[in-house]
Structure 1
């Protein structure tokens, strides 16, 4: 069993993974008076969570629940759990296990606060456990975004205040649209199914040529080389001679000014381009060092795509609207809301979601991992 906290280095995208940090979900939790929550003499997981200041959640890695990137995690289910922990103002101890049966066993034994699982309702009931939909029945939204509609949160007792607050938290998220927004960011259909064959062929053909350069440069900047490869594929399909109508060129599609600032003398040289792209992305991560991972990755990618100045302008507008400019949920919502009237916002949304999808594909495809 592997364990991860919500903090860590930026070695990789906890990716590609604040994640989205949907603080709106956290703020929407129904609040129960503590005296009523603890009124029962029966031992509850809620008491354990509050007294230990730790929420222990177990799940099996999957495209709907969680992706592991070194010490970092991200994913639709993980972000839901992360924000429920935030709403309780406790630390999250998120643990991955090999099977749903193992996750249910830990809940039965009281070793986990709850499990996030796609196990059948029958298997859950056989263990005399209680469960509810992780999306309060928002099945159409999950299906539309290619996510598993059978995702449930499983608790030892239905009358545990932990289960009750979690259920209220999830259903309020459905009502205010936060569930839908989170699902849209982790959309498994952002790349059309028929396109994956071509993408797979491209990566198998070109990745081996540049793998050594990606790995060497990623190590220099403490990044995940798979992430750099995903950025490179989004930028140029890993073609070093690429050039756009606006003049950006090379494998990482650097502008002339950015290339000069990063010390790149030949944008068509793949090693120089990868070096310049990694250096620039690293600078973007530093620019948003006040934002925790995995959300910092999303900010850095949007800034990489349309410039930190444009991101800064949106942050100012969000602040003027009384919203936290450093929460990805607010940045994402702004881009989504204005993408029709601003093509740069539409492009930025496509950019970050596609890179996230490419990275997850690379990391979960054995043929590519072992290239």
Structure 2
């Protein structure tokens, strides 16, 4: 079992009345607070409020969550995390080996709810209730190679937590957030036939540079797999690579960036990896107020476009009345405007491919154990 939590402000029963409906993500079906307080039924909603913690259990799979041993990420995980943020509570996210165990946790009250691809029959067999984690938006998941049969499973249908959750998911669909999350976690971003070629590249070149990635990552407290994924996206791990714009080397540094990072020879793979890691670490430091894993995605876009361009996009997002510190908003801006701006199109491809490479490197035993 693995668990992770994200921080949130204290939410208590006395303060709930003063918070706006939008902040709590209540659906129109939510019971009045006086009836909740008066009820003698033990609701998971009450446990969430009293503990200031939303406990969610899930099985690791490409649609729900990718557990990289440092930070969770994934379509399902991000959706759940956004729901916890809307309730202003901490998220305690736990993974188990199979759907049966996840359902058992809900039945026993060990989890607020489960995120699962279990069949409706198996859910109903345990007298549990569920609803689609996509509010019926199956097309967005299917076209991005995700499992459309994703459900949130609750202990009781009349629990206000189920009502608030279903309302939140449907609003996410209406706002386009759900579709953008599915787009970012697209399993088809790299065509299946390309993976054979990618695997050959990694098998041949990773053994040469793995030690440098590991040593440098340790120096900057980074994930070496992520550095390797950046290197593959930049140059296919070819130290003599040169672009038409003059960037060069394994990590494809500009001349000015190389000098600033102390790199005297951009085609030296060891120097290039060190310079790229130092620059990436610098980009991470610019987004200290943004939690992981989102901070990684922001830093990657800044590595690709430059931090000035990211700052301009964040200003535009803020002017639209949206939170510029939420990755889904930054990604949506890039994705929605990529047709008119080649840099945005490149940035979308850049960050989504690196995410895919990261997951591949971390889950391919022959690469990890080289």
TM-score by length of 1: 0.92
What is the alpha-carbon distance in structure 1 between the residues aligned to residue 164 and residue 37 of structure 2?
13
Q: CA deviation at 1:27?
A: 7.6
Q: CA deviation at 1:68?
A: 1.2
Distance change (3 Å), C-alpha of 1:147 and 1:29: farther
Distance change (3 Å), C-alpha of 1:368 and 1:37: farther
Write out aligned runs for 1:51-130 (5 A). 51-130=50-129
- Give the SS at the match of 1:249: coil
Partner of 2:312: 313
| Contact 2:25-2:87 within 8 A present in 1 as well | no
Distance change (3 Å), C-alpha of 1:27 and 1:227: farther
Does the alignment pair 1:159 with 2:153? no
Tell me which of the two structures has the higher relative contact order, counting C-alpha pairs closer than 8 angstroms and 6 or more residues apart: 1
Distance change (3 Å), C-alpha of 1:26 and 1:81: farther
Partner of 2:363: 364
What's the CA shift string for 1:274-317, capped at 9, x where partnerless? 00000000000001111121111111101100111111111222
What is the alpha-carbon distance in structure 1 between the residues aligned to residue 246 and residue 223 of structure 2?
28
| Contact 1:26-1:84 within 8 A present in 2 as well | no
Gaps of 5+ in 2: 8-21
Q: CA deviation at 1:26?
A: 6.9
Partner of 1:203: 202
Partner of 1:30: 27
Partner of 1:250: 249
Partner of 1:13: none
Partner of 1:228: 227
What is the alpha-carbon distance in structure 2 between the residues aligned to residue 351 and residue 237 of structure 1?
13
What is the alpha-carbon distance in structure 1 between the residues aligned to residue 182 and residue 321 of structure 2?
25
Partner of 2:277: 278
Q: CA deviation at 1:323?
A: 2.8
Give the root-mean-square deviation of aligned CA atoms.
Answer: 1.5
Partner of 2:267: 268
- Give the SS at the match of 2:163: helix
What is the alpha-carbon distance in structure 1 between the residues aligned to residue 26 and residue 293 of structure 2?
22
Q: CA deviation at 1:204?
A: 1.1
Partner of 1:4: 4
What is the alpha-carbon distance in structure 2 between the residues aligned to residue 257 and residue 311 of structure 1?
19
TM-score by length of 2: 0.92
What is the alpha-carbon distance in structure 2 between the residues aligned to residue 26 and residue 277 of structure 1?
40
Q: Which runs of 4+ in 1 moved over 4 A?
A: 25-29
What is the alpha-carbon distance in structure 2 between the residues aligned to residue 367 and residue 99 of structure 1?
25
What is the alpha-carbon distance in structure 1 between the residues aligned to residue 112 and residue 138 of structure 2?
25
Q: CA deviation at 1:159?
A: 1.0
Q: CA deviation at 1:30?
A: 3.0
Q: CA deviation at 1:124?
A: 1.1
What is the alpha-carbon distance in structure 2 between the residues aligned to residue 232 and residue 300 of structure 1?
15
Does the alignment pair 1:178 with 2:177? yes
- Give the SS at the match of 1:356: helix
Q: CA deviation at 1:141?
A: 0.9
What is the alpha-carbon distance in structure 2 between the residues aligned to residue 314 and residue 171 of structure 1?
27
Write out aligned runs for 1:324-339 (5 A). 324-339=323-338
Q: CA deviation at 1:28?
A: 5.6
What is the alpha-carbon distance in structure 2 between the residues aligned to residue 27 and residue 56 of structure 1?
17
Q: CA deviation at 1:363?
A: 1.1
| Contact 1:75-1:186 within 8 A present in 2 as well | yes
Q: CA deviation at 1:116?
A: 0.6
Distance change (3 Å), C-alpha of 1:254 and 1:46: same
What is the alpha-carbon distance in structure 2 between the residues aligned to residue 144 and residue 28 of structure 1?
28
Partner of 1:15: none
| Contact 1:4-1:71 within 8 A present in 2 as well | no
